[in-house]
Structure 1
Amino acid sequence: MKIGIIGGGLTGLIAAHALVQEHEVDLYEKLPYLGGCLSSYNMEKYWIERYYHHCFSGDTALFSLLGELNLSGKLEWVNGTTGYFARNTIYPLNTPVQILKYPELSITDKARLAWLTLTAKKADLKALDQVPADQYIIENLGWNIYTSFFEPLLKSKFGDRRKEVSAAWLMSRIAIRSNRGAAGERLGYLNGGFHQIVAALESSIEAKGGKVLKQTPASALSHTENSWTINGARYDAVISTIPPQELAHMGGPALPQIPYQGAACMTLAMDREVTKGIYWLNMKDSAPYGAVVSHTNFIPLERYGEHIVYLASYFSGIVPPQLDERMMADFCNRFGVKTQEIHWHRMAVDPWAGPVYTTGYGSLIPAYEQSGLYMAGMFSKTNYPERSMEGSIRAGLDIAACIKKRNSHE
C-alpha cells in the first residue's frame, strides 16, 4: 500500500516508523523540523526542547520505543521539585514539613488534599467527564483548596479556559503524578534531550525507504472511490495527525469540534537560578505566564553551562499581543533579573498545542477511521484524559495497527 501521513509530530512519526517496513510511506510536515511539541532548539553546544518535557514511570510504550531505537541507556530518573509563587513569595511544596508550612492552606485543607491524592487512582473518570473540575474541588474539598492550590494548576495548563476543564482530567493528572517521595516527584528525562527520539525515528523511516517531506504542508485532500490524494498525489490510505477541524478545511470529514488551545513558551538562559532550587513553580499570583519551569533545577546545569528556564502560557484563538515582551518584563521584575543577565531567549508558539479537556470531551473523541480516512493524535483516546508522549506513541501504534488490519483483510 501507498500511505500518506499528514503531520510530523510524534504520532505521525510513530505511525510511519511502524508501517514503512511493509508499505510505501510519505510523511508531510509543514515546518522545517519534525517533532511538533517534542521538537527542540539546537544551541550548538546542546539541544533543548522548545516545550518542557519529562516522562513518567508508567510510560511503557515509550520505554519499548527507546529500546527499539537503542536509546534505553539514555533514560534517567530525577526528582522533580514543585512549589507555588504566592503573595510574592516562593513556597516549596515537596516535603511534609514544607507542605505543613504553606500558609495558603489550613491543616484541615492539607488533610483533605492528602485524602484526594490517595484516592485519585480509584476515581471513576467516565463519570467525572461531565463534572467541571472547579465544581468538583469546591464541593468536595472547599473553596480555599481550589483557589490556593488547584486554580493555579489549572491556570498553568489551560489559561482562561480553566473553568471549562473536567474533573476527569484533574483526577487523572493527580493520579499520574502521585509517584512522589520526600525529595520530590520521580520523573524521567533522556540524557542529551528528547530530540534524539525524533532524530532516530526520522533516520529509521528514511533508511527503510520512507519519504519525510519537511516544509511541505498538506494543503488539499480529496477522496475517490478507492483512494485519497494529498496535494494531488494518490494514496491507498491517508493518516492525519493534525486537529480534525484543520483537516476539514483541506477536504477531510466534518466532525464535532475538538476544543483546542494554543501554547506560548518562552525559553531563556542566564548565569543564575531564581526559583530556590524548584523545578516546577506554579504561579498563584497573577502573571502573563502560568508556571516557571527551571529546567536546570531538574537536569544538571553542567550539561548546558547556563541556567535554562521556561515561562509557560496558554491562549485561545490568536496569541495575545506583545506576549513575549510582557512575559520577559514580568519575569525580570518579579524575580529580580536584569535584562543583561539573560544570555538568549526564544519564543515558541503553537496555536494547536493540544486539546482542552472540557466537560463532555469523552464524547467528542473521533474513531480512528472516519469515512475511509485514518485519524490519530493528541485528540485520540490514548491521550485522554491526560496528554503525554506515552499517549501520542500509543495513538501512532494504534493507527498503524488499523492500517495493517485493513491490509490483511484485503
Structure 2
Amino acid sequence: MKNINICIIGSGLAGLSAAYYLKYKYNIEIFEKRERTGGCLSSSKTKNGYVEDFYHHFFEGDSLLISLIEELSLKEEMEWLKGSTGYHVNGKNEPLTTIPEIIRYPYMTFYEKFRLGMLTLRAGEYDIEKLDEVTAKDFIEKECGKGVYNSFFEPLLRSKSGEYSDKVSAAWLISRIAIRSNRKSGGEKLGYLRNGFESLIESLEKEILDSGCTIHTNTPAEAITKSENGWFVNGKEFDLVINTINPKKFCQLGGPNIGEFIYQGAACMTLGLKRDVLNGLYWVNMKDKAPYGAVIGHTNFVPYERYDEHIVYLASYFSGKPPEGIQEQMLTDFKTRFSLKDDEILWNRIFIEEDAGPVYMTGYRSKIPGYCIDGIYYAGMFSEANYPERSMEGSIAAGKKVAGMISEAYSG
C-alpha cells in the first residue's frame, strides 16, 4: 500500500497524529510553513529545558492524548499538577481557587456566587446541541443574572473573542466550564509532561520520519489543483490530501470551498522574570481592560526549580491581523500594571498565530464539515472532534479519525 501518496498540510497535532496513524501504510509528505513542527504546540528553549510557545495543559478525560503519550513511551514524563485561578481587578490579584477565596471575592454578591457555583456543578448536564443556538451572554444572564455576567464572564468573553463576544455560543462556554470543573482543594487537576510538550512533538516527528515519511518545514502549501487521479500540491501530484489549516486559507490556495469559518489569531508573549507577580496563582484573568486577557504563571503550575526563573505568559486574541506594535503594548502595560522594573525582566518573546482557531458563534454546529469532501480529508480545529471546545484531545481525535477513514477506504 506504500504506493498511495498522501499530502498533509500543517504539522500541528492533528497533522502529526494523522501521519502517525498512517505512517507504515502510505507515502506521506507533510508541508509546514514554519521552521519547526508542532503548530500551536511548538516550544522554544529556555535557560533550562523547553517551554511551550503557547500555554498548554491537559485533563484527566483526555484519553486519546494519554494513550498516545503512553504509546510513545512518555508515560514516565506524565505528571498531574494543580492549577489555581484568580482575577486581576483594580490592580490586585484576587484568588478564586478555594471556597473561602470565592466567598471573600468582593465583586459579586453571595447570591451571585451561589448561582455561579450551581452553574458549575450542573455544567455537564446541559444539552450542548440546544445551547449551540443560544449566545453565551443570554445563557449566563438567564442562569446566573446580569451581575455574574458583567463581573465574571464578560471580561473572559471580551478577551477571548473580542468583537464576537456577544455572538459566541453557550455550547462553547458551558463545555469549557464542564471540562474545568474537576476542582479539588488547592486547585484544578491538570496534566503536563515533565520535559514539556516538546517531548511529545519530538517523539511524533521521530516516529513519522523513521517510517520513511517526509516533513517539509519552511515550506507552505502555495498552490492546490485537481488532477486526473488526485491533487497537485506545489506542483507534485498526490492521491490524497489531508488539510488541517483554516478552510478559507485552503480555499484561497485552490482547494474546495467548504464554507466560511471565522478564525481568530493569538498573540502569546512569554517572559522570564526574577520574581513572581501573581501571588502563586497559575491562571489570572484580567477584569481590567488590558492588551492581554490573561496572565498565566507557568512556574506557579510547573515547579519553579525546573527553570530557575519565573515564567509567565500574556495571552491576547485578535481578529484579522495583530494590532500594530502589540509586543511593545503588552510589555509596557505588563511592566506598569505589575510594577516591574526593566532589570526584573530577564527575557521576553512573542509568538503570533493568525489562525489559532475558529470562533464558535451561534449556529456553528450546522457548519461543521464532514471529514471527507470532494476527495479532501479535513482534520483541523474546525472539525467535529474539536467542537464545542478545541483541544489537544480533539486534534488527535480528528487526525486519528481521518487516518482510520483512509485506511478503510484504501485497505485493498
**Aligned to 1:203, what secondary structure does the other structure show?**
helix
Task: Check if 1:146 corresponds to 2:149.
Answer: yes
Distance apart, 1:44 and its partner CA: 5.2
- Paired-residue identity, %: 50
Match of 1:266 in 2: 269
In the other structure, the counterpart of 2:204 is 201
The Cα RMSD (Å) is 1.0
Tell me how far apart the structure 2 counterparts of residues 171 and 225 of structure 1 sit (CA, whole Å).
46
Distance 2:154 2:80 in 1: 28
Alignment partners' CA distance in 1, 2:121 and 2:404: 36
How far apart are residue 326 of structure 1 and its match? 1.0
What do residues 269-290 of structure 1 show as CA deviations (whole Å, max 9, x unaligned)? 0110011100000000111100
Q: Is 1:78–2:81 an aligned residue pair?
A: yes
Aligned-partner residue type, residue 263 of structure 1 = A
Q: Distance in 2 between matches of 1:59 and 1:401?
A: 19
TM-score, normalization: structure 1? 0.98
CA contact (8 A) 1:132 1:359 kept: yes
- Whether the 8 Å CA contact 1:133–1:168 is kept in 2: the answer is yes
Q: How far apart, in 2, do the equivalents of 1:58 and 1:64 lie? A: 11
- What's the CA shift string for 1:160-206, capped at 9, x where partnerless? 32222100001101100000012011100100100111111111011
1:114 aligned onto 2:126:
no
State how far apart, in whole Å, the 2-side matches of 1:106 and 1:370 are. 51
Q: How much does 1:140 deviate?
A: 2.0
Residue 50 of structure 2 is matched in structure 1 by: 47
Q: Give CA-to-partner distance per residue, 1:248-307, whole Å, 9 cap, x none.
A: 011101121111100000000011001110000000011110000010000001111100
- Aligned partner of 1:351 in structure 2 is 354
Partner of 2:240 in structure 1? 237
**CA deviation map 1:101-142 (0-9, x unaligned):** 001111100110111011110101100001110111112211
- Residue 357 of structure 1 aligns with an amino acid whose one-letter code is Y
Instruction: Return the alpha-carbon distance in structure 2 between the equivalents of residues 44 and 88 of structure 1.
Output: 30
Instruction: State how far apart, in whole Å, the 1-side matches of 2:345 and 2:274 are.
Output: 8
Counterpart pick for 1:130 among 130, 133, 140: 133
Alignment partner of 1:59 is 2:62: yes
SS of aligned partner of 1:163: coil
Displacement of 1:159: 2.9
CA distance in 2, matches of 1:369, 1:192: 36
* Residue 320 (str. 1) matches residue 329 (str. 2): no
1:310: how far off? 0.3
Provide TM-score, normalisation by structure 2.
Answer: 0.98
Is 1:374 matched with 2:377? yes
- Which range moves more in the overlay, 156-165 or 82-91? 156-165
Does the Cα contact within 8 Å between 1:220 and 1:251 map onto a contact in 2?
Answer: yes
CA distance in 1 between counterparts of 2:25 and 2:12 reads 21
Rounded Cα–Cα distance in structure 2 between residues aligned with 1:83 and 1:326:
23
Distance in 2, Cα, partners of 1:404 & 1:156: 41
Give the secondary structure class of the aligned counterpart of 2:148.
helix
Which range moves more in the overlay, 241-250 or 226-235?
226-235
Q: What is the aligned length?
A: 409
SS at match of 1:299: coil
Partner of 2:37, secondary structure, is coil
Q: Which is worse superposed, 154-163 or 178-187? A: 154-163
Matched residues in 2 for 1:285 and 1:55: separation? 28
Equivalent in the alignment of 1:339:
342
| 2:285 is equivalent to residue 285 of structure 1 | no
Moved more, 262-271 or 217-226: 217-226
> Quick check: 1:159–1:313 contact (8 Å CA) kept in 2?
no
The residue number in structure 1 matching 2:98 is 95
**How far apart, CA to CA, are the structure 2 residues paired with 1:22 and 1:312?**
40
Paired with 2:231 and 2:306, the residues of 1 have a C-alpha distance of 47
Counterpart residue number, 1:250? 253
User: Contact 2:124 / 2:178 at 8 angstroms: preserved in 1?
Assistant: yes
Deviations 1:220-260 (A, max 9, x none): 11112321111111111111111111110111011211111
Corresponding letter in the other structure for 1:256? G
Matched residue type, 1:152: P
Query: Pairwise mapping of residues 146-165 of structure 1 onto structure 2 (< 5 A)?
Result: 146-165=149-168
Separation (CA, whole Å) in 1 of partners of 2:33 and 2:267: 19
Equivalents in 2 of 1:230, 1:4: separation in Å?
8
* Amino acid in structure 2 at the alignment position of 1:284: K
- Choose which of 98, 105, 109 in structure 1 pairs with 2:108: 105
Taking the aligned partners of 2:378 and 2:117, their CA distance within structure 1 comes to 39
Structure 1: gaps (5+ residues)? none
The answer on whether the counterparts of 1:159 and 1:290 sit within 8 Å (CA) in structure 2 is: no
1:213 to 208, 211, 216: 216
Q: Does 1:307 align with 2:310?
A: yes
SS of the residue corresponding to residue 108 of structure 2 reads coil
| Secondary structure class of the residue paired with 2:163 | helix
1:364 positional shift: 1.3
* Larger displacement relative to structure 2 (160-169 or 194-203): 160-169
Distance 1:265 1:93 in 2: 23
Work out whether residues 47 and 307 of structure 2, in 8 Å CA contact, stay in contact via their aligned partners in 1.
Answer: no
Q: CA deviation at 1:147?
A: 1.1
Tell which deviates more after alignment, 98-107 or 43-52.
Answer: 43-52
Secondary structure of 2:350's counterpart equals: strand
How much has 1:46 moved relative to structure 2?
A: 1.3
